[in-house]
Structure formats: structure tokens, C-alpha cells
Amino acid sequence: MPQLKIAPHNIAVLLSGGGTNLQSIIDNIKLGNINGKIEVVISNKKDAYGLERAKLNNIDAVYVNAKNYENINEFNDKIIEELTKRNIDLVVLAGYLKILSPQFIKTFNNRIINIHPSLIPSFCGKGYYGIKVHEEAIKYGVKVSGATVHFVDENADTGPIIFQDVVFIDDNDTAESLQKKVLQIEHKILPQAVKLFCDGKIQITDRKVTVKE
């Protein structure tokens, strides 16, 4: 794992949508809770409001159109290029809906974290994103759900878990109301994980993540 640095860590956020989790990180940096600076926000969606959030906070906002590249590897290579030239220490996936290439994961090994809106290993993996996750949780009839922050490896939602937090599901909850509940805890545990990474307090042993004192 990267060693603790006196200087703020350089952070990149990748997203495909509104960027409320991005905003939670921005807010915590402004409050002095995170020893980091967001150097760039990258999206595969031109109209993602997360790009506008970045601009409003004087952060580089970069749109990368996958259609301009022959395959997913070339698309990812472009993003790697954008990150490398900014000396990025930590990559945060905050509602990012594109697949990362093996080269991307190798380049930033144990330096990519993702937020997922369920308690992994439930309702995760291929096809489980956005409102679909909450629809399946309601349909299955589980009594609790939640959110998970985890490191990213070569498979979907299978990397070592950093944090999880739960919400209780009421009888009258819908996928939409559950989504709102889960989003509230996403905004808590994602900045918490970013803070600990930037403080050099996260340690990985096999699949187990521990927080150093």
C-alpha cells in the first residue's frame, strides 16, 4: 500500500451520473476531513451532472467518449493517460458504469475503490447497478440492505471490502425509497474510506481489510 504522505493525495473520481457521492468527497475535503485533493473528474457520459459539479468546484472535468475508441482497452488506456499525467494516488469509482481493463487495474492495483449500493456479496456483480439493485432487494424480501465500499479487482464487485453499513427495509419501502436510504449511508462511508486511504491507515491481508491505529 502507498505510504502516508505529508502532501495531500491526488484523487480522481470516475462517474457516469449525478455525482452526489463526488459531492460528499468534495464537502469532506473542504471541511479538512480528507488529506487529499481531487485533481480530475472523468465521465463516459457527456451530460453527467457530476462533470458540472466538478467545474463548480474548480476541478478538471473530462469527458471521454468510448465511441471514439476501437475497443474497451483503448478507451481505458485514454483514461489511464489522463490519470497518470496528474500523478493520481487514488481512483474513486462513484457510480461509474464502464468496465475497467486488466491494464487499468494493474496500473492502479489496490488504489481503486468503488461504492456499491448493497451489502456485497448480495445483489452485486454483472447487471447489478442503479435502481436495479434495490428492485431486486425489495423483490427478494430481505429485511436489511445497505452499501459497500471495496477495492476493485479484475471481477465485478469482488474486491476486498473496506466498509459496509446497513439500512432496515420497511414493509412499505419501494425500490425508490430504499435507494434514498442507501444513498444517505453511501455519502457517509465513501468519504470515510477515502480519508483512511489518504491517512495511510488501510491495510490488506489476503481478502481482509483492516484499519491501522
Q: Which residues are catalytic?
A: 116
Q: Which residues are within 8 A (CB) of 131 and not within 5 positions of it... i.e. 6 or more apart?
A: 175, 176, 179
Cβ contact 61:54 at 8 Å: yes
Which residue, among 155, 100, 139, 144, has the nearest Cα to 118 in the 3D structure? 144
Rounded Cα distance between 86 and 39, Å, is: 7
Q: How far apart are the first and last CA of the chain?
A: 15
The Cα 49–Cα 72 span in angstroms is 23
Structural contact between residues 191 and 28, judged by C-beta atoms closer than 8 angstroms: yes
Q: What is the DSSP string of 51-101?
A: HHHHHHTT-EEEE--GGGSSSHHHHHHHHHHHHHTTT-SEEEESS--SPPP
